[in-house]
Amino acid sequence: MKKRRIIPLPKGSVMGEKGVFVQRDSRNRGTAMPKSPEVAVVRAFIATINGQDLATLSSLMPEDHQFADSGGSVMSGRETMLAAWRQYFAMFPDYRIRVDSMMQHDTIVTVFGSWSGTYAGKRGAVPENAVSGPAVWRALVENAKNKTWQVYADQTETAEVVKRNQSQGE
């Protein structure tokens, strides 16, 4: 299998290709912020994940919402995903997505950034259970809702932390 190499974008970069742009997050002052409705939906979706606001998250997903993880698993349906997010937030009560940049082409918005969280076993979210890493998310936005949310992230460390806790009787 060919190993993929991720090349970081230069700070504040913008691609001029028609219909495609990359914008740096607001922490990088002086860069134009896109104002498309699709980007607004994705920003709201991430904000509701970071705030663990399931009611608003529900309003941003159509009934046939799909989620795909890095391992190729796909979950379908808004209610299924709300139950999954509820369970995930219980496991990682401080889960957060950090946006570094975004790219849009038509109704697809790609987010580049990182995630972090602390696994909460029986002892709670103790510091040695903190995990984080780089990630890319891809959203398909239709009718002002996030129809598909796909994540590309290495979850090896997360699986090891959960496994270690379970072997300790968590």
In a domain, 13, yes or no: no
Q: Name the average pLDDT for the chain.
A: 84
Ranges under pLDDT 50 in the chain: 1-26, 28-33, 170
The answer to whether residue 149 is domain-embedded is yes
Kind plus residue range of the DSSP H or E element containing 89: helix 78-91
Rounded Cα distance between 47 and 95, Å, is 11
- Dump pLDDT digits (tens) for 6-21: 444 444 444 434 344 4
Is the pTM higher than 0.75? The answer reads: yes
Please indicate, yes or no, if residue 81 is contained in any of the structural domains: yes
Helix (H, G, I), strand (E, B) or coil at 158: helix
Q: What is the domain-level CATH number for residue 94?
A: 3.10.450.50
Q: Domain limits at 64?
A: 20-167
**Structural domains of the chain, count:** 1
Is 130 a domain residue?
Answer: yes
Q: Is residue 2 part of a domain?
A: no
Question: Is the residue at 14 inside a domain?
Answer: no
Residue 146 identity:
N
5, part of any domain: no
Angle at 141 between CA 135 and CA 143, to 5 degrees: 160
In tens, the pLDDT along 37-54 reads 999 999 999 999 999 999
Residue 137 has which token pair? 């998310």
Do residues 101 and 22 touch, judged by C-beta distance below 8 A?
A: yes
